[in-house]
């Protein structure tokens, strides 16, 4: 029987499995990942405000894998052999007929002193640490910012940092402590969040100004020090630093033999095929795809790419032309604890909503809708 191997257990990997079975693809499917659980990081922004606990966002996947007839292998990938037909791991080698790379990206931790910053999207434990530190602070300086991969501008996690910024500001207001804090938002980009669209950036910067949040923008990062952020345009104090660096591909890709982009991701086409490698597919942060410069890679976009990859695998197995292309689409709710704004962008349309309490509730409702597949 045909062997399909999927690397990873995040959004893109799980959607690929679900879409394959929805299409009635009759093949042996193996999932290789370090853990058989999904961490729903989009809702980790609410952990510091006690609206979520980490255990609520850590979903075991054994039931999901059994339901979709997938074999789980607990292992870390170390490389590829035979042009992708063999996956090398720390638990042995695994052959395949089709390979889907959906392992996500890797944060670039080269900035000197980055150990002095907390990187929120590294996991639920980081959100818990943010909660612990905030609860102990009665005043001081907080710095929140993000950067990107200079060789792959779309490889970033800007949205969660805007959310942490506004949520922390609102949380401090609710507890009566805001007046005792200086909050600074920083980024090497002069207009951070540009892929959301010009109107969204204007709105986010105006929201910062209305809340008394300082900005330090358009200056290249130099280093972090204990209690300080240093840039080429100056430095400022920070007792708590939240920073999201840019992303690159997993380290094992460097010796995989796959074609890589300047940013370290697998070069792929609009059908999610790795360039010049038959039956090797890539979805999400691991890939470098054609598309508009505002196109994201993670979450919703990874799901769209996973659906295209599954459709094309089905086509190949059915001896049809694999011509399903993913749609470039950005859907984002920037939460502010008791309200939010909705941003939608496609190649033809860019919409930014006013700030409404409705969108805070919709973000929570979507969490329940999305995770129902895995619970």
Tokens encoding 305: 């790419």
Task: Clarify whether residues 190 and 274 are in a common domain.
Answer: no
| 250 to 81, 266, 271, 303: CA distances (angstroms) | 16, 10, 21, 19
The whole-number average pLDDT for the span 39-65 is 96
Q: Is residue 349 part of a domain?
A: no
Task: Clarify whether residues 146 and 26 are in a common domain.
Answer: no
* Domain end (from 243, 270, 293): 243
Q: Is residue 48 part of a domain?
A: yes
Q: Is residue 210 part of a domain?
A: yes
Give residue 156's pLDDT. 82
Residue 113 has pLDDT above 90, yes or no: yes
Give residue 40's pLDDT. 95
Of the pLDDT bands very low, low, confident and very high (cuts 50, 70, 90), residue 329 is very high
Task: Clarify whether residues 233 and 140 are in a common domain.
Answer: yes
Global confidence as pTM? 0.95
**pLDDT, tens digit (0-9, with 9 covering 90-100), for 198-223:** 999 999 999 999 999 999 999 999 99
**Per the structure, how many domains does the chain have?**
2
Task: Clarify whether residues 170 and 259 are in a common domain.
Answer: no
Task: Clarify whether residues 234 and 115 are in a common domain.
Answer: yes
178, 312 contact by CB (below 8 A)? no
Task: Clarify whether residues 57 and 83 are in a common domain.
Answer: yes
Torsion of CA 267, 272, 274, 277, to 10 degrees: -160
Task: Write out the residue range of the structural domain in which residue 35 sits.
Answer: 3-105+249-317
Looking up residue 29, the CATH number of its domain turns out to be: 3.50.50.60
**pLDDT, tens digit (0-9, with 9 covering 90-100), for 125-138:** 999 999 999 999 99
**pLDDT, tens digit (0-9, with 9 covering 90-100), for 123-174:** 999 999 999 999 999 999 999 999 999 998 888 888 999 999 999 999 999 9
Residue 299 has pLDDT above 90, yes or no: no
Task: Clarify whether residues 156 and 113 are in a common domain.
Answer: yes
Question: Which residues, 6+ apart, have CB-to-CB distance to 40 below 8 Å?
Answer: 57, 58, 59, 367, 370, 371
Task: Clarify whether residues 98 and 115 are in a common domain.
Answer: no
Q: Is residue 131 part of a domain?
A: yes
Task: Clarify whether residues 42 and 71 are in a common domain.
Answer: yes
* Domain end (from 317, 346, 361): 317
Task: Clarify whether residues 140 and 211 are in a common domain.
Answer: yes
Of the pLDDT bands very low, low, confident and very high (cuts 50, 70, 90), residue 340 is very high
Q: Is residue 326 part of a domain?
A: no
Give residue 175's pLDDT. 95
Q: Is residue 341 part of a domain?
A: no
Task: Clarify whether residues 125 and 201 are in a common domain.
Answer: yes
The string over 81-108, giving b where at least 16 C-beta atoms fall within 10 Å of a residue's C-beta and e elsewhere, is eebbbebbbeeeebebbbbbbbbbbbbb
Residue 2 has pLDDT above 90, yes or no: yes
Please provide the average confidence, as pLDDT, over all residues in the chain: 96
CA-CA distance, 309 to 315, in Å (whole number)? Answer: 10
Q: Is residue 373 part of a domain?
A: no
CA-CA distance, 197 to 290, in Å (whole number)? Answer: 19
* Domain end (from 205, 227, 243): 243
Of the pLDDT bands very low, low, confident and very high (cuts 50, 70, 90), residue 297 is confident
Task: Clarify whether residues 265 and 239 are in a common domain.
Answer: no
Torsion of CA 118, 121, 125, 126, to 10 degrees: 20
Higher pLDDT, 303 or 297: 303
280, 96 contact by CB (below 8 A)? no
122, 134 contact by CB (below 8 A)? no
Q: In the chain, what percentage of residues exceed pLDDT 90?
A: 94
Q: Is residue 197 part of a domain?
A: yes
């Amino acid at each position: 029987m045909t062997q399909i191997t999927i690397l990873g257990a995040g959004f893109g990997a799980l959607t690929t499995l679900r879409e394959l079975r929805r299409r009635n693809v009759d093949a042996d499917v193996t999932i290789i990942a370090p853990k058989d659980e999904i961490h729903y990081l989009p809702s980790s922004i609410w952990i510091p405000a006690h609206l979520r606990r980490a255990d609520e966002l850590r979903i075991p996947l054994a039931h999901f894998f059994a339901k979709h007839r997938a074999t789980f292998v607990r292992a870390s990938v170390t490389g590829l052999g035979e042009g992708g037909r063999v996956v090398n791991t720390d638990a042995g080698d695994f052959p395949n007929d089709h390979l889907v790379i959906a392992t996500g990206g890797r944060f670039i931790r080269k900035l000197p002193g980055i150990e002095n910053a907390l990187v929120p999207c590294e996991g639920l434990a980081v959100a818990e640490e943010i909660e612990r530190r905030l609860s102990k602070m009665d005043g001081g300086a907080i710095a929140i910012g993000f950067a990107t991969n200079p060789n792959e501008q779309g490889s970033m996690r800007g949205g969660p940092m805007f959310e942490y910024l506004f949520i922390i500001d609102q949380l401090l207001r609710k507890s009566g402590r805001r007046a005792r804090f200086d909050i600074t938002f920083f980024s090497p980009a002069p207009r951070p969040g540009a892929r959301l669209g010009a109107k969204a950036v204007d709105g986010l910067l105006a929201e910062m100004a209305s809340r008394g949040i300082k900005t330090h923008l358009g200056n290249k990062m130099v280093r972090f020090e204990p209690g300080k952020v240093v840039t080429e345009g100056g430095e400022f104090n920070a007792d708590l630093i939240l920073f999201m660096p840019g992303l690159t591909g997993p380290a094992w890709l460097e010796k995989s033999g796959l074609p890589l982009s300047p940013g370290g991701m697998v070069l792929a086409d609009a059908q999610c095929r790795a360039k010049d490698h038959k039956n090797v597919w890539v979805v999400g942060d691991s890939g470098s795809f054609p598309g508009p410069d505002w196109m994201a890679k993670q979450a919703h976009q990874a799901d769209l790419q996973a659906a295209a990859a599954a459709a094309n695998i089905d086509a190949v197995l059915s001896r049809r032309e694999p011509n399903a292309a993913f749609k470039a689409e950005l859907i984002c709710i920037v939460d502010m604890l008791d309200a939010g704004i909705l941003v939608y962008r496609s190649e033809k349309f860019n919409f930014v909503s006013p700030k409404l309490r409705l969108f805070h509730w919709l973000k929570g409702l979507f969490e329940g809708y999305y995770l129902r597949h895995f619970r």
